[in-house]
Amino acid sequence: MRKFIFALYMFCFLLNLSAIDNVGQLKSSLSKIEGLEKAKILYRLASYTDSLEATEKIEYCAQAKSIVSDLNNYELLSDILVLESKIYKESNDIKKYSSSIEEYIEFYKKVTRLEIESKKMQESKQVLIRNSFIIGFLVILNIAFIVYYRYRTKTIDHIKLIKANKQLEELSRKDPLTSISNRRDILEKINYETLRFERNKKEFSLVMGDIDNFKSVNDNHGHECGDYILKALVNTIISGLRKQDIVGRWGGEEFILLLPETNLAGGEIAAEKIRK
């Protein structure tokens, strides 16, 4: 039993010597380092409970606390404050122990407040980013709408222009009173049939006619009556023609019939049919 106690005593003695050597090494390294690493060494020195006096430990805590406060390293500062309170408690310095507890409470409040502010800033940043995305999306959507609106307006205007040009072209080829081909249109169609005849020997016939004494109708009954007669005559002529036959107004009360793929005999038959 005595041997065991002696061995235990020797072990503690050697452990204490090792701690003293380690403390010496840490102290010698303080002059070579700065900043956070120095604060960590000071914290380690203050943590050796048996090798250093309480006043020396408190001094190391104060130095470490000053460094980490400037660096805003709240995690290490929290450990230092806890260690400082522990040292005061072990030294039975109730007044300073109480002060250290109050300091730790104030520190905890400060850290909590900073965490809340940081969380709010993070939330505000997220809101700002989200709003930026929303605004960006709305801007892009607005630009796309403007581009689409301009394209659609331009397309509609283009379609209207094409339609108007087509209508104008049709009007330029129609007689405004009877809505049949005018002289320009009928001449183009005659030229086309002439080319067909030259290439393929496709015969066609032309029939011309007018209204007898039409001037006296206008003079005696007015132009409205004359217009009515012209329209009625056109309807009569069209009712006796084939789908491919074309009737045109040559001028005044004169009309011309273009009968594609019709020989002379066929043209005479068509003319006689209309005359009757």
Residues 49-94 pLDDT 10s: 566 788 888 888 888 888 888 888 888 888 888 888 888 888 888 8
Task: List the structure tokens of 62.
Answer: 């104060």
From CA 160, how far away is CA 164, in angstroms rounded? 6
* 22: confidence class by pLDDT, cuts 50, 70, 90: low
Report yes or no: 18 and 37 within 8 Å, Cβ to Cβ. no
Mean pLDDT of 173-189: 90
Q: Write b or e for each residue in 94-128: b if 16 or more Cβ atoms lie within 10 A of its Cβ, otherwise e.
A: eebbeebbeebeebeeeeeeeeeeeeeeeeeeeee
Classify 207 as helix, strand or coil: strand
Q: What is the pLDDT, as a whole number, of residue 18?
A: 46
**Strand extents, DSSP E, the chain:** 204-209, 246-251, 254-260
Task: List the structure tokens of 246.
Answer: 């074309």
Q: List pLDDT tens digits, range 215-238.
A: 888 888 888 998 898 898 889 888
Mean pLDDT of 169-181: 85
Can you give 210-232 as a three-state secondary structure string? CCCCHHHHHHHHCHHHHHHHHHH
From CA 139, how far away is CA 141, in angstroms rounded? 5
Domains and CATH numbers, the chain: 2-116 (1.25.40), 183-275 (3.30.70.270)
Catalytic residue among 84, 169, 224, 253: 253
Q: Check if 37 is active-site.
A: no
